[in-house]
Chain A
Amino acid sequence: MKYILKKASMMVLTLIAVSILVFLAFNLIPGDPATRILGTEATESQLQLLRQEMGLNDPIYVRYLRWIWNFIRGDLGESYSYGSVSALILDKIPITIWLAIMAFFLMFVISIPLGIFTARHEGGVIDKIVVVLDQVIMAIPPFFSGIIITLVFGLTLQLFVPGGFVSYKIDFWGFIGYLVFPAIAIALPKITMCVKLLRGSVIEEISKDYTRTAYSRGNTTRGVLYRHVLKNAMIPVITFMGMALADMVSGSIVIEQVFNIPGIGRMLLSSINNRDYPVVEAIIMGIAILVMVVNLIVDIIYRLVDPRIEAIND
């Protein structure tokens, strides 16, 4: 418990640091939101008026404190082109979350059986094929596999219409259907890493003394594997999966571009281009919070799987 409290206070500090960085970054890069809104023909007095209205003329610390105070109270402010930021994010976040969940699901159901299978049949033909394939696929970045998937499954096999995204509000299953291939593109490298990790971890555990003992007590291979080995072998895999989940959310920023999905990632990029600071700041803070929460959850799961960790840390 003490540990979790310590972790949580660290999270708050990190968030403050992130918020300062985000806020400063957008004050340092060139580009003036007022010009962006009023266009190139605006006169200086019009620009000044709008800057005043938007509070852009106040000193930077005043603006920062105002923003962070509103943020804490749950008021994410007004987007320069879309109205309420909260409403906008609530509208778009299901898209990205579903994409990440689907990718995570794919990773889970493919990599765990495959990892165990290859470890059990180490050196076999299938194991060898999987290991080689694994290495190859691991080296392909998601945006590239996205392009290949579009080409092969979209244009050649016509299993989906490139760019044919439908909103979850209009046709939920059509929406899920469109996300399958993007999810595969995001999941592929994670699957390969997870298989490799799990395979290595299981093989290592199998060679340990306790496994031999377990066998000598008359357990079947299956029993040893699932009741003893896997429990230990899973610990590094859980860490990896936790990180992968956070990674998938941020990785979707790239994949959303490739597949033309209007999720959080697209919103982030277009808001940066439009100098729509309230949106950018809210999204980056959101991603930061998500990564930290996931890390915290991973920590908690650790403890459940292996109580020894608690003893060491506390």
Chain B
Amino acid sequence: MKKKVWSGNVARRGLAAVCALAMTATMLTGCGKKKEDASEGSSAQGTAAQTSSQDSDEVFTVGIPQDLDSLDPHIAQSAGTREVLFNIFEGLVKPDEKGNMNPAIASSYKISEDATEYTFTIRENVLFHNGATVTADDVVASLQRYKDTGASIFETVDAIEKVDDSTVKVTLSKPNTEFLSYCTVAIMPKDTTDAETNPIGTGPYKFVSRTALENLVVEKFDEYWDVDNAAHIKNVVFKVEANPDNIVADLEGGSIDMYARITSDQADQLSDSFEIYEGEMNLVQALYVNNAVEPFDNELVRQALCYAIDPQEIMDFVSGGAGVEIGSAMFPSFDKYFDESLNDTYNQDVDKAKELLAQAGYPDGFTFTIKVPSNYTPHIDTAEVIVEQLEAIGVTAQIKKIEWNTWLEDVYNNKDYEATIVGFDASTLNASSLLYRYTSDAHNNMFNYSNADYDKAFATAQATVDEAEQIKYYKECEKILSQTAAAVYIQDLPSFVALNSKYTGYTFYPLYVQDIAKIKLAE
């Protein structure tokens, strides 16, 4: 948490329609063989019954960039919805701001040696917002309901059983050492039929009302089980701010108190009555190229691009130097997987780039098109810098801005593109949510990247039980991506959050989460 000082060298206006950007990265199957150590987790039970109640009639209003796509946590898709529902729903385990998976509705869990059986002990006296106590039946019904939606991350779930009144066992058809990170699936009462209009969870805030296109109103849940992490502010409204141009005026005017992911320009315009928190967006931003089309099917060409492009210059131009350089498909807040040395696989070297191009048979360069989603200024700005940097090696890039839905259809689904600039986020806290998509037969491999060594390293990582060993293989994967220049990796974009100085406590997560329970009135 730091107050940002602006050098003010970026003088362009920006739209902040971040919303659609986040891509969910989910992995399909695990093919690991066994898990030796039975992990056990238990969390510190809050003993003191101190609920720091700063309750007043004050309403805390959070601006969100788009309306929620659903209030049913098992159906909601967009990252923008998930980060709001985090306040209402909880799973068996719950991520914290450091990226750990802490027991939540489960008080502890055991993973069988072969990593196919996950046994959860249900925490006692966890209450739903409707006052009912969470039972093993609720857990079984919720997990089953989620599986029935056809969710790909639950594809390997074979059976969900109630062992006794406080124990639930999940059996997988294939060993998967990372399954725990999927157990954040929301637990709802077993007889839930109207989650869309009356969502009931166990989180620190409970649902009050929702008005389409306007807002979602929630209220502090007084019987929240985790007393230490209970909410501070009583009334919270998530208000839809459809027009990003209004954000500054609405913050200054007082109709919203907080807005996550404002642009650096908006941060500049805000007065002193706002605290700007600076963090990262947890995205892998890169110039992604279609590895199956000419000339990008040639590794030398891709490497030439890497030598031609300087991430630092991009960060300076796009957000006044903020942001963190990356060298592979992993962002820094995934600390244990991130390998900083890969940032130096390629350092800008125009001569080397030209040499590689000549070797590849393109001594005079070539021309290609970068398709960029038009709703996200940082990517467009990045594209502009890249176009200039590529000019130096005789390569002509043209920017084509396309609307987000068109991007989804043409680029993501149909792979009809030469190059594009977006950022990938991780929907679950594990490395495979970012790395799986590079395996040759991944359904979401939009890069057409195919590398036998990579597939092997990834499969080995998946099958490895020991965590340190597993990390080693994931890092190996990252190294292969970097060396074969699967894409031109640029940065994890900076994220600026504006919070009215009346409040404090905003916390960044390595996932798409806005944890409002952490926000409290400033002293």
Contact = CB atoms under 8 A, between A and B. Distances in A.
Interface of A: 29-32, 35-44, 46, 81-83, 88, 91-92, 150-151, 154-155, 158, 161-165, 167, 257-260, 262, 266-267, 269-270, 273-275
B23 A267 contact: no
A35 B413 contact: yes
Contacts of B192: none
Given A39-B78, A260-B242, A31 B249 contact: no
A269 B444 contact: no
Q: Which interface residue of B70, B239, B241, B246 has the most chain A CB atoms within 10 A?
A: B246
B24 A39 contact: yes
Given A35-B408, A162-B255, A262-B214, A155 B249 contact: yes
A36 B405 contact: yes
Contacts of B211: 91, 167, 262
A257 B245 CA distance: 9
A262 B152 CA distance: 35
Given A30-B410, A41-B26, A41-B152, A262 B249 contact: no
Given A260-B242, A270-B213, A37 B77 contact: yes
Contacts of A151: 249
A297 to B, nearest CB: 30
Contacts of A36: 405, 408
A155 B249 CA distance: 7
A152 to B, nearest CB: 12
8 contacts: A29-B406, A31-B406, A92-B213, A150-B246, A163-B241, A163-B255, A266-B213, A273-B404
Nearest to B214: A262
Given A31-B408, A32-B408, A43-B152, 15 more contacts: A30-B405, A31-B409, A32-B405, A39-B77, A40-B444, A41-B427, A82-B212, A92-B213, A158-B253, A162-B252, A162-B253, A163-B246, A258-B245, A262-B240, A275-B405
B243 interface: yes
A289 to B, nearest CB: 22
Nearest to B241: A260
Contacts of B413: 32, 35
Given A40-B444, A260-B241, A81 B77 contact: no
Interface string B213-257: 110000000000000000000000001111101100110111110
Nearest to B23: A40
Contacts of A258: 243, 245-246
Contacts of A270: 66-67, 213, 242
Interface string B34-56: 00000000000000000000000
B400 interface: no
B69 interface: yes
B21 to A, nearest CB: 11
Binding site of B, secondary structure by majority: helix, strand, loop or mixed?
loop
Contacts of B405: 30-32, 36, 273, 275
A267 B242 CA distance: 10
B150 to A, nearest CB: 5
B443 interface: yes
Contact of B253 (A37, A41, A164, A262): A164
B249 A163 contact: yes
A259 B243 CA distance: 9
B146 interface: no
B317 interface: no
B412 interface: yes
B239 to A, nearest CB: 8
A110 B181 CA distance: 64
Interface in B71-101: 77-78
A191 to B, nearest CB: 25
A126 B406 CA distance: 55
Given A43-B152, A262-B214, A266-B213, A154 B406 contact: no
B249 A162 contact: yes
A81 B253 contact: no
Given A30-B410, A35-B409, A269 B249 contact: no
A93 B466 CA distance: 60
Interface in B433-471: 443-444
Q: Which interface residue of B150, B240, B444 has the most chain A CB atoms within 10 A?
A: B150
A270 B241 CA distance: 11
Contact of A81 (B69, B408, B427): B69
A172 to B, nearest CB: 15
Contacts of A260: 241-243, 246, 250, 255
Contacts of B239: 163
B410 to A, nearest CB: 6
B253 A155 contact: yes
Given A31-B405, A40-B23, A262-B240, A81 B70 contact: yes
Contacts of B69: 37, 81, 274
A266 B239 CA distance: 14
Contacts of B196: 83
A158 B67 CA distance: 28
Nearest to A274: B69
Q: Which 8 pairs across A and B sit closest by C-beta, in order of nearness?
A: A31-B405, A163-B250, A39-B77, A163-B255, A162-B253, A262-B213, A164-B255, A30-B406
A18 B143 CA distance: 47
Nearest to A150: B249
A46 B67 contact: no
